[in-house]
Amino acid sequence: MIEKIIQTIKPLWQVKQVRSKIFFTLFILAVLRFLAHIPVPGVNIGILEQIFLGNQFLGLLDIFSGGSLSNFSVIALGLGPYINASIIFQLLGFVFPYFENLAKEGEAGREKVEFYTKIATVPLAVFQGLGIYALLRNQNIITNLGSLDLITFIVTLTGGAFLLVWLGSLVSDYGLGNGISLLIFAGIISQMPQGFAQALAVGQGGGFKLILFLLLSLLVVMAVVSVTEAARRIPVQYAKRIRGRKMYGGGSTYLPFKLNQAGVIPIIFAVSLVLLPSMLGQFLSGVNNPTIGFWATKLANIFAPNSPVYNLTYFLMVVLFTFFYTMIVFNPEKIAEEIKKSGGFIPGIRPGKPTADYLQQVSLRVTLPGALFLGLVAVLPTIAQGLTGIGSLAIGGTGVLIVVSVVLETVRLVENMIQMRGYEKFLEKY
């Protein structure tokens, strides 16, 4: 077993290009962890950590900030503003022809979209920084700041968010894999020791609940890996063509319909919206009007992160957003037209509109279990806490989903780089 692992890892160090990318990525991740422990002045870290330990929703936001939100470091906003801006422009590409044309222009078009995304990150970071300030002020974690101090506070958080985006770009250009995904991955991995330490702490429910916690964690990992790799394969046949005296084409292939086509994007959408009632309620609960204060407090209690209303709303939003995102991204008419132009057909289905209708029907059937799984993943921490009594996000399905996706993507990238290096050596010999 150990020899097999060594044989698998050995090629990584033999290829200089891969070795350099690995060292550069590790260096950037070390810089990230250093920045995550530089706190913003004026915040009571002790009270903040206690709130995060008892609030799984804030813990989920802490995942996307790489663990820096619970420390309230200079990169406390994390990559949330950039991710939201990326999702917005990705959806705009399916609504406005201008952004759709930019996506078809290749590298130049992608650079323009990236530029617009970074510009949109600024107002989103400012808005999110103001929301966090209001939340911390209402919880008496931070005192009222003057105008200059508040501007400095917001500029620091916005600058930290841009610093993370820059580090992610460096990893994408000179490191291994997608930089943004790897930074989020590093944040999740950094949270796991704390989660397991909490699970092992005295008074968490005894050995039985600890064993149950570990079994649930293993089942979550197995389920996420299975769903991430699962796909429905639609067979496609290609007719043979005769040109002159030679016959071309023929054969068969398949269209893969992944069970989870949307990834974690529906969860990010749902998190952004389900947070609003609670934040609005907490923000308005301190006003002088007793009536507004009463209803605001009631709204905040109804949508508290551990309440049934919150979890049910969260689950339904994830399911709906999964269908919505899949319908926007997936275009059965375009795929059917491309199959027809290539001389292909699905056995038993006529080309053209019948093929498009069939693909749409298959997409809806495949998306349903994927959407339900994502919804279950979203509320899994609450379920796990109810079964084990361990308020830890180490078992959080969202974190496991991101980790599995990043690991699989990085492994495929490394394998391709090693294979390309092998082809280059073969060509050099001949």
Report the CATH number at residue 57. 1.10.3370.10
DSSP-derived pairing of the beta strands 344-345 and 252-258: unpaired
Q: Shortest CA distance to 82 belongs to which of 183, 156, 190, 192?
A: 183
Handedness of CA 294, 296, 302, 305 (dihedral sign): negative
Residue 281 lies in a domain: no
Contact 178, 326 (CB under 8 A): no
Distances in whole angstroms, Cα of residue 428 to Cα of each of 414, 420, 422: 21, 12, 10
Residue 245 lies in a domain: no
Residue 99 lies in a domain: yes
Residue 123 lies in a domain: yes
Number of domains in the chain: 1
Residue 367 lies in a domain: no
pLDDT in tens, the chain (430 residues): 456 555 556 666 666 777 788 888 889 888 888 888 887 776 666 666 666 655 555 655 666 665 666 677 888 888 878 888 887 887 777 777 777 777 667 677 778 888 888 888 888 888 888 877 777 776 667 777 778 888 888 888 888 888 888 888 898 888 887 888 888 888 777 777 666 666 566 444 556 666 776 777 778 778 888 887 788 888 888 766 655 555 555 667 788 888 887 777 787 777 777 777 776 776 676 667 777 777 777 777 777 767 788 888 888 888 888 888 888 778 788 888 888 887 778 888 888 888 888 888 888 888 888 888 888 887 877 777 766 665 554 445 667 777 777 777 777 777 777 776 654 554 444 4
Q: Shortest CA distance to 62 belongs to which of 150, 192, 159, 223?
A: 192
Query: What span, in angstroms and rounded, lies between the C-alpha atoms of 173 and 261?
Result: 26
Residue 184 lies in a domain: yes
Residue 109 lies in a domain: yes
Q: Give the range of the structural domain holding residue 32, as residue numbers without chain letter.
A: 12-204
Residue 241 lies in a domain: no
Up-side HSE of residue 317: CA atoms within 13 Å toward CB?
20
Q: What is the pTM of this model?
A: 0.73
